[in-house]
Every structure is written in C-alpha cells, then in structure tokens.
Structure 1
C-alpha cells in the first residue's frame, strides 16, 4: 500500500513539475497581460514600456505599424478596445526570444463605430536589458 502511494505521489509531482512555468515564461505571460492592459486603457506609458523601439505590428488586414503609430492609434482612440479576451495561449522560449501564440476576441469602438474581431495572434518577444519587449506581432482572422 505504501509503495503504491509513493508511486502515485511521485507521478503527480513529476507531472506538475513538467507543466510549471519557468521564471521567464511567467515574466513573458506578465508582459502579454500588461500589453493587453495597455491596449484596453490606451495607456501610452504601459504600451511604451512593453514594446521595443523596433516594433513591427502586423494587423490581420495586412496593415503594418511601427511603435510610434501603434501607440498613437490606441492612445487617440482611433483603435479602441472595449473588451479583449485572450485564450489558448502558448509560450515557447528560444534563448532570449519568446514565441507567444493565442486566440484573441475583442469588442471594439474604432472611430465611434462598434465592431468585433476574432484573431489568431503571433507575438515575438525579446529580452532586452532584463525586460521582455514586444518586437513583432502578426494576426490573422479566425472564422
């Protein structure tokens, strides 16, 4: 009986241990959450902190923005997110780079026109001076 309990406990510990996030994975997840927070609030300071100076931000319609434009359209309300939900997120670390994929659904009010969107998003993050910065994003529409 004790041996069976030991085997089960060992299996559980190993299973939980392999699914736990590393320190960097947690930091990347936090950076993604801060990006979402900044986009919802149109907060220039948050958006500036989580994005690289070399940001390439690709929309599902093919539009590309640099960092300045990305921040400007959110702060001005030209792109206005009312709600934003992220699901099915995965994070893969490759050295000082993180590849993040997730599904993204949002209610928008761009230029005063209500709308909604469902996207599959790819985010590329790079650790710069100890902080995770978004360097690239590309989205495609989900049906």
Structure 2
C-alpha cells in the first residue's frame, strides 16, 4: 500500500510538472505572437491592432528618451509621426514568469517619420503582462546601437 501511494504521488508530481512546462511553452508562443502583432500594428499604423496589444498603463520609451503613454503611442503610429516602412527583429529572447514576460530583441528598420526617411538600429526591452488571458504590452524601452 505504501508503494502504491508513493507511485501515485510521483505520478501526480510528474503530471503537474509536465502541465506547468506545457503552459510556459504556450505562454512563450503567445508572447511571441503578441510581439508579431505589435510589429504588424506598427508597420500598418493600425489603430485597432495597436490599441488591442497595449495595456492601458503602457509606458513606451523611445531611444531618444521620449516616453509615451498608450494614447500617445497609438496616435504617433496612426498619424505617421512614427512611421516604419520595414521592421526586422533579430536576436529575440522571451522569458515568462507567471503573468509577466519580458522580451529582448534588436530592431532594424526603415522609417519615414513625418515624411523624413531614416533608419532605426535599436535594442529593445519590452515587458508584457497577461490581462484577462491576453498578453499586453506594459512597458518598452529602446536604446540606440551602432
């Protein structure tokens, strides 16, 4: 009887560990999909996409030191103040811890901010929070790279 209880306890622990690992893997994929949704929203200047991916509490930091809230972030892309023609993300890592995730990557892009062509080479840290089952961009900070 002790052996059976011990085997059942070990099996239960294995099931819980496997379920937790699967959930973390699913969360990581969901965060990666949210990052891609953000990238597409930025490229297209799509208000609905940008509003849906951003948390109400968003703090969006640019490489020049400017910080925007959600409303300012969305309006900059919709109006063309921030206008990406291309965005390539490289060296991306995603870490999930509970209902929080952080993503680091490098962004290389062509811009046309306010009609002025340019390029962006920045390293970015984003923080995501899971709200009502959906990953939302909570904070972002970028720094220029060479």
CA distance in 1 between counterparts of 2:103 and 2:46 reads 22
One of 135, 138, 141 as aligned partner of 1:135: 138
One of 82, 97, 100 as aligned partner of 1:97: 100
Structure 1 vs Structure 2 CA RMSD: 1.1
Mark the runs of 5 or more structure 2 residues left unpaired by the alignment: 1-20
Kindly indicate whether residue 118 of structure 2 is the aligned counterpart of residue 115 of structure 1.
Answer: yes
* Partner residue in 1 for 2:48: 45
Structure 1 residue 94 displacement after superposition: 1.1
Structure 1 residue 66 displacement after superposition: 0.1
CA distance in 1 between counterparts of 2:133 and 2:79 reads 30
One of 63, 68, 90 as aligned partner of 2:66: 63
Which runs of structure 2 are paired with 1:22-37 in the superposition (5 Å)? 22-37=25-40
Kindly indicate whether residue 109 of structure 2 is the aligned counterpart of residue 106 of structure 1.
Answer: yes
Runs of 4+ in 1 over 6 A off after TM superposition: none
CA distance in 1 between counterparts of 2:48 and 2:35 reads 15
CA distance in 1 between counterparts of 2:96 and 2:131 reads 14
**Structure 1, residues 108-128: CA drift from partner, whole Å, max 9, x if none?**
001110000100000000000
Larger radius of gyration: 2
Deviates more, 1:69-78 or 1:21-30: 21-30
**Structure 1, residues 11-51: CA drift from partner, whole Å, max 9, x if none?**
xxxxxxx9xx7000000000000000000000000001100
